[in-house]
Amino acid sequence: MATASFRSGAVGRGGVKADTITNRTSSINSAPKSSFKSKSSAPPQNSGLRRNSTGSVATSTKERGGVSGRVRVAVRLRPRNAEEMVADTDFADCVELQPELKRLNLRRNNWDTDTYEFDEVLTEFASQKRVYEAVAKPVVENVLDGYNGTVMAYGQTGTGKTYTLGRLGEEDTADRGIMVRAMEDILAEISLVTETVSVSYLQLYMESIQDLLDPANGNVSIVEDPKTGDISLPGATVMEIRDQKSFLDLLQLGEAHRIAANTILNTESSRSHAILMVHVKRSVKGRDSALSTEHGPSHLAKTFKQPVVRRSKLAVVDLAGSERISKSGSEAHTLEEAKSINLSLTALGKCINALAENSNHVPVRDSKLTRLLRDSFGGTARTSLVITIGPSPRHRGETASTIMFGKRAMKVENMLKTKEEFDYKGLSRRLDIQLDKLIAEHESQQKAFQDEIERIAQEAQKRISEAERNHDVLLESERMKYEKEYLDAIQKLEQQWETSQGKHEKVGVNDSNNTEKFNQEPNDLGVTEDIAEIKRLLQNETLLRKAAEEEISDLKNQIAQWQRSEARRNLDGGGTTELPSDLDSPLPLICQQLRDSEEEKASMEKLFEQVGLQKILSLLESEDADVRIHAVKVLANLAAEVTNQVKIVKAGGLTSLLAILRSSSDETIHRVAAGALANLAMNETNQELIMSQGGIRLLSVTATNAQDPQTLRMVAGAIANLCGNDKLQIKLRGEGGIRALVGMVKCKHPDVLAQVARGIANFAKCESRAYIQGTKSGKSLLIEDGAMPWIIQNASNEASHIRRHIELALCHIAQHEVNAKDMISGGALWELVRISRNCSREDIRTLAYHTLTSSKSFQAELKRLRVDYG
């Protein structure tokens, strides 16, 4: 005798065990989300609104064009269970699936079959993921777009309905059912900050709606809106979901309270219909509905658009299995349960038949199940039905009945609509947040303004003090200088006077008077002139000091006046913080430059967001030469950041740089564009793009025409980066890259020579790898293009960064016997000997030694020259 019981959990329930469904991924054959979106914007296919199952018009808070959507039906075959393996050993399966044709063959006997086509045909090997993507994922995507959706499982008891929908996947995540996977997708798509997801979990048992999340709530009533015909369950528990774990806990709680019983057909047969209701509330972006008043749009409407929210609902329905009493062995209470289940399923089938035949009357009120599902069949929801069947020929009648139920459901057309409403509470929250943000921003700006005033005042005071100190030092220095000159002049006059006195004593009285009169007049005249000159210089110095003190005083007054005016402007709530234009002292200009230098980096980092890359690229084609130059500089600075390089290339920045390098004759543009290309050429993918668009040829022409060493340095750097790509060796040489490098050595600027040496070293290193890999056998292209004389000449260059690259290039070229003859004739042998003995870097020294000892040609030449080296 079958006994009813309450389940302790959802693991291992039903006739299909966890290991009976083989995980096997297959291709997805479901309607993509994009195709549905294109339909949702189209006008309704019917001229009028479609009526629901009771004849009432389906409406919403804000009506939009409805979209016709047929109920999609998928069939899933359960594999044979252990009992069928024994009982049906000598019999073939009653069904044959053709999933590639979406076709099912049902055998009448050994000769005749009936063929049925469905939207999806899922074999016994279909994984849970495949089932979800084929059956439920399109519905979930529609729910996220604002439409109601229903996913339902129908079939004979024990065919895997609960496994398909409600499996939690605690032991193996691949076994997760549609409920778990649907919630994962919903939580991944929405923002829980501004949008909400809530669930209710119910069971319909013996025509009584019971709350699985609150067992004490055993009789939830159905309420119908008389205007719209919408069905609601106000007494059901609604739990908001914040993460996947909380949802799994709710599912476990609900499954523990769901009623099941042991029958012949299923050891844990569901005795109730389980309904999971997922309510999604999402905000609508990009709508133009704004707040307005009687006199037109208000000031608030210019800032805030009226928030619109969409409310949608996903219903996942796990129907109890239909059963024949003679096969299930139900009796007593389980017999009453079976009767109730079959009656509700029969009522559902009658409603579907009426809708499929466009009957004037749909008996939706015959059962609470049909009332709950009125929106799923003939309503406004996107509905997807999965019918589950078994392979056993003993249950062919039940399988045929299930198949016919699905075929009739495919004829039902729903009219999909979205439900939108204005979110005044959300608008209020946004206004509060914006107000708080503005207050905080205003306070921050006030503080920043005060800090800036204090910083400028401190900087001004510091510079005034520094200017005063410098002035005092200079003034003291000049005073000491003039005082010393004054004392020297006095001492000189005293010496002249003493000399004159000695002469007066040696002559007679008459001659003395004449001589003294003759000599004294010139001396007195010279002393008078010196003293007058000293007084004049002292007066000038005094005037200069007074003028400086007056200038300092004027500066202090002007700064104080500017601070008072800025304070008044701040209290009035407007104005920008700029120094007065009449302040002729260099101090305001210095302060302004300091602020500009501090803000330059932050401005460059925000340039992408504020201006946009496309706008910058469009400025490269401006007729104004200055605009083009500035645009190229900005692009070069952005290209210096690795994170920006992909965006620049994707937006066509590389093509624009090559175009302006080709068309412009301005050397500044050439220099900056070549620098930008050098930055982009650090990426291997960009290197191939530059070569494919003729970049190396343009760089070679630019190098030929350039005069400025900085331009040549940028061009050489770009070519040097391209020289490091193994795939581009032949093409780079063919388009003149090596000759361009060799040609730039005429500049003799150390920065240019360093880039040329780096490029030659990169090229030689790539050639060396090609020799080792067997992809190259001929003479080095560097030797063929005449680079060897310059390499040998600069192998002992005084600049270490140039010498290091040249020594490395020389060692790589000498590693291969085919180059030995040319290197010996050019004098490279002695440089290799010097490198092996005197190079400051041990790795290069070791490489040179290994090259000399392993080369037969070098050893023979050293032996001929009687140089002992081994």
* Orientation of helix 653-663 relative to helix 695-705, angle to 10°: 40
* The pLDDT of residue 503: 61
- Residue 850's Cα: distance from chain center in Å? 49
Burial readout 452-468 (b: 16 or more C-beta within 10 A, e: otherwise): ebeebeeebeebbeebe
In terms of pLDDT, which residue wins out, 90 or 485?
485
Share of the chain above pLDDT 70, in %: 77
Q: What is the mean pLDDT of residues 653-663?
A: 84
Query: Would you give the end-to-end CA distance of the chain in angstroms?
Result: 100
- What's at 442, amino acid-wise? H
Give which of 654, 611, 662, 615 is closest to 636, Cα–Cα: 654
- If pLDDT is split at 50, 70 and 90, which confidence band does 541 have? low
* The pLDDT of residue 870: 58
- pLDDT tens string 590-604: 334 434 444 444 555
- pLDDT tens string 190-206: 988 888 999 999 999 98
Q: What is the mean pLDDT of residues 309-318?
A: 92
Concatenated DSSP letters of 216-246: T---PPPEE-TTT--EE-TTS--EE--SHHH
pLDDT at 286 over 60: no
In terms of pLDDT, which residue wins out, 149 or 323?
149
* The pLDDT of residue 609: 58
Q: What is the mean pLDDT of residues 112-116?
A: 91
DSSP3 helix / strand / coil % (the chain, rounded to 5): 60, 15, 30
Q: Is residue 265 helix, strand or coil?
A: coil
Most confident residue range from 178-182, 521-525, 688-692: 178-182
Angstrom distance (rounded) from CA 5 to CA 259: 6
Instruction: Please name every residue paired with 308 in a beta bridge, in sequence order, or none if there are none.
Output: 422
3-class secondary structure for 158-210?
CCCHHHHHHCCCCCCHHHCCHHHHHHHHHHHHCCCCCCEEEEEEEEEECCEEE
Tokens of 786: 């005449």
- Which long-range contacts (C-beta less than 8 Å, at least 24 apart) are formed by 334-339? 334/2, 334/3, 334/4, 334/261, 334/263, 334/271, 336/206, 337/4, 337/205, 337/206, 337/259, 337/261, 337/271
- If pLDDT is split at 50, 70 and 90, which confidence band does 244 have? very high
Cα distances (angstroms) measured from residue 728 to each of 248, 518, 760:
56, 97, 14
Angstrom distance (rounded) from CA 806 to CA 797: 9
In terms of pLDDT, which residue wins out, 10 or 286?
286
Share of the chain above pLDDT 90, in %: 25
pLDDT at 582 over 60: no
HSE, CB side, 13 Å, CA atoms: give it for residue 698.
Answer: 24
When mean pLDDT is compared across 82-91, 300-309, 391-400, 453-462, the lowest value belongs to 300-309
Judge residue 108's burial from the number of C-beta atoms within 10 Å of its C-beta, 0-12 exposed, 13-18 middle, 19 or more buried: exposed
Give the contacts of 665 (CB within 8 A, at least 6 positions apart): none
pLDDT at 728 over 50: yes
Angstrom distance (rounded) from CA 210 to CA 670: 78
When mean pLDDT is compared across 129-143, 274-288, 541-555, 653-667, the lowest value belongs to 541-555
> Count of CB atoms within 10 A of residue 30's CB?
19
Q: What is the mean pLDDT of residues 421-428?
A: 73
Q: What is the DSSP letter of 321?
A: P
Judge residue 442's burial from the number of C-beta atoms within 10 Å of its C-beta, 0-12 exposed, 13-18 middle, 19 or more buried: exposed
Strands (E), 746-851: none
- pLDDT tens string 835-844: 888 888 888 8
In terms of pLDDT, which residue wins out, 470 or 47?
470
Q: What is the mean pLDDT of residues 675-689?
A: 84
- pLDDT tens string 20-52: 333 333 333 333 333 333 333 333 333 333 333
- pLDDT tens string 206-219: 889 999 999 888 88
Q: What is the mean pLDDT of residues 571-575?
A: 43
Concatenated DSSP letters of 105-140: EEESSSS-EEEEE-SEEE-TT--HHHHIIIIIHHHH
Q: Is residue 797 helix, strand or coil?
A: coil
- pLDDT tens string 434-468: 899 999 999 999 999 999 999 999 999 999 998 99
> Count of CB atoms within 10 A of residue 484's CB?
10
pLDDT at 578 over 90: no
Mean pLDDT of the chain, nearest integer = 78
710 close to 750: Cβ distance less than 8 angstroms: no
When mean pLDDT is compared across 343-347, 385-389, 492-496, 534-538, the lowest value belongs to 534-538
Concatenated DSSP letters of 369-427: HHHHTTTTSSSSEEEEEEEEE---GGGHHHHHHHHHHHHHHTT-EEEE-B-EEE-HHHH
- If pLDDT is split at 50, 70 and 90, which confidence band does 529 have? low
Most confident residue range from 169-183, 556-570, 619-633: 169-183
* The pLDDT of residue 196: 92
* The pLDDT of residue 132: 96
pLDDT at 243 over 70: yes
Q: What is the mean pLDDT of residues 677-687?
A: 84
Angstrom distance (rounded) from CA 154 to CA 76: 10
* The pLDDT of residue 50: 37
What are the φ and ψ backbone dihedral angles of 722, each rounded to 5 degrees? -70, -30
What are the φ and ψ backbone dihedral angles of 410, each rounded to 5 degrees? -70, -15
Give the contacts of 688 (CB within 8 A, at least 6 positions apart): 725, 727, 728
Concatenated DSSP letters of 643-698: HHHHHHHHTTHHHHHHHHHHH---HHHHHHHHHHHHHHTTSHHHHHHHHHTTHHHH
* The pLDDT of residue 270: 80
Give which of 164, 139, 180, 176 is closest to 32, Cα–Cα: 139
Angstrom distance (rounded) from CA 337 to CA 332: 9
pLDDT at 429 over 50: yes
Phi-psi map region of 206: left, alpha, beta (phi>0 left; psi -120 to 50 alpha): left
Angstrom distance (rounded) from CA 180 to CA 162: 12
Q: What is the mean pLDDT of residues 158-184?
A: 92
Phi-psi map region of 802: left, alpha, beta (phi>0 left; psi -120 to 50 alpha): alpha
pLDDT at 739 over 80: yes
> Count of CB atoms within 10 A of residue 515's CB?
16
Q: What is the mean pLDDT of residues 616-627?
A: 79
The CA angle 585-587-589, to the nearest 5 degrees, is 95
In terms of pLDDT, which residue wins out, 506 or 731?
731
Angstrom distance (rounded) from CA 375 to CA 149: 9
When mean pLDDT is compared across 303-307, 474-478, 568-572, 661-665, the lowest value belongs to 568-572
Tokens 């361009």 map to which residue?
A: 740
* The pLDDT of residue 788: 87
Bridge-based pairing of strands 308-318 and 148-155 is parallel
Cα distances (angstroms) measured from residue 480 to each of 474, 477, 529, 542:
10, 5, 21, 14
* The pLDDT of residue 210: 92
Angstrom distance (rounded) from CA 233 to CA 748: 87
- If pLDDT is split at 50, 70 and 90, which confidence band does 540 have? low
